[in-house]
């Protein structure tokens, strides 16, 4: 009886630990954010185990059913599409119920997109604030106003469709000269880390266009 949170590669299938593969091989059931995405990883490592969808649209409906199976002695391994479950991805709800009812939970170390983006940004990382995804509408102004005076380095995820809008907002609230780094397609063939001021990085992507998974690192106020 245990729930394992298993980090999955954020792009390169080789970025998985031996232990993670072993846990997936031995689990009674694998919970997958997207079974199509996870099937690529599982096929690659020749793992043939029952897989059931577990994502933001069904987690509230099935959490008690999964909890009952865990309490009945099953071992489950949770996978999200990329990175560590619970980090801007499903996972928290089931973990909370497990800890509340005494079901053991173990999170394996492994891939998380914001860590390599932060480390290779060239921006101070002694202290940082991870913000996940910014709100699209409600609360955006309040959050940006607060973050404008944040002294720690700020790290967040963004979609390619909203990157330019977010950089424009950051220029408005933080000023155009704040240092930042946009990391795109980390660990993949076309990985790119664009460093510079908010204005420089905005202008670069405005001209080039934006594709792929995005992590943004912004220096705190000095």
Domain ranges in the chain are 2-107, 114-218
- The domain defined by 2-107 folds into Cobalt-precorrin-4 Transmethylase; domain 1 (3.40.1010)
Distance CA(101)–CA(106), nearest Å, equals 15
CB 25 within 8 A of CB 128: no
Q: What is the pLDDT along the chain (222 residues), one digit of tens a residue?
A: 999 999 999 999 999 999 999 999 999 999 999 999 999 999 999 999 999 999 999 999 999 999 999 999 999 999 999 999 999 999 999 999 999 999 999 999 999 999 999 999 999 999 999 999 999 989 999 999 999 999 999 999 999 999 999 999 999 999 999 999 999 999 999 999 999 999 999 999 999 999 999 999 999 998
Whether the full predicted model's pTM is greater than 0.75, yes or no, is yes
Distance CA(212)–CA(148), nearest Å, equals 27
Distance CA(73)–CA(110), nearest Å, equals 26
Q: What is the dotted CATH code of the domain comprising 114-218?
A: 3.30.950.10
158 φ/ψ angles, rounded to the nearest 5 degrees: -150, 150
For residue 219, how many other CB atoms are within 10 A of its CB?
Answer: 21
Distance CA(81)–CA(36), nearest Å, equals 9
Q: Which helix (H) or strand (E) holds 66?
A: helix 59-71
């Amino acid at each position: 009886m245990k729930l394992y949170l298993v980090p999955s590669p954020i792009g390169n299938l080789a970025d998985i630990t031996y232990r993670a593969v072993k846990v997936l091989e031995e689990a009674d059931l694998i919970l997958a954010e997207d079974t199509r995405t996870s099937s690529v990883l599982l096929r690659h490592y020749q793992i043939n185990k029952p897989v059931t969808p577990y994502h933001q649209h069904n987690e509230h409906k099935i959490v008690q059913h999964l909890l009952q199976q865990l309490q009945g002695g099953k071992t489950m391994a949770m996978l999200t599409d990329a990175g560590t479950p619970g980090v801007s991805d499903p996972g928290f709800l089931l973990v909370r119920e497990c800890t509340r009812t005494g079901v053991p939970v173990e999170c394996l170390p492994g891939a998380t997109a914001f860590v390599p983006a932060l480390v290779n940004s060239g921006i101070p990382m002694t202290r940082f604030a991870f913000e996940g995804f910014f709100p699209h509408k409600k609360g955006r102004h309040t959050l940006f106003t607060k973050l404008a005076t944040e002294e720690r380095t700020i790290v967040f995820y963004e979609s390619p469709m909203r990157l330019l809008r977010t950089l424009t907002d950051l220029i408005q609230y933080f000023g155009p000269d704040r240092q930042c780094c946009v990391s795109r397609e980390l660990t993949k063939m076309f990985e790119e880390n664009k460093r510079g001021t908010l204005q420089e990085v905005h202008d670069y992507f405005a001209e080039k266009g934006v594709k792929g998974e995005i992590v943004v690192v912004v220096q705190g106020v000095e």
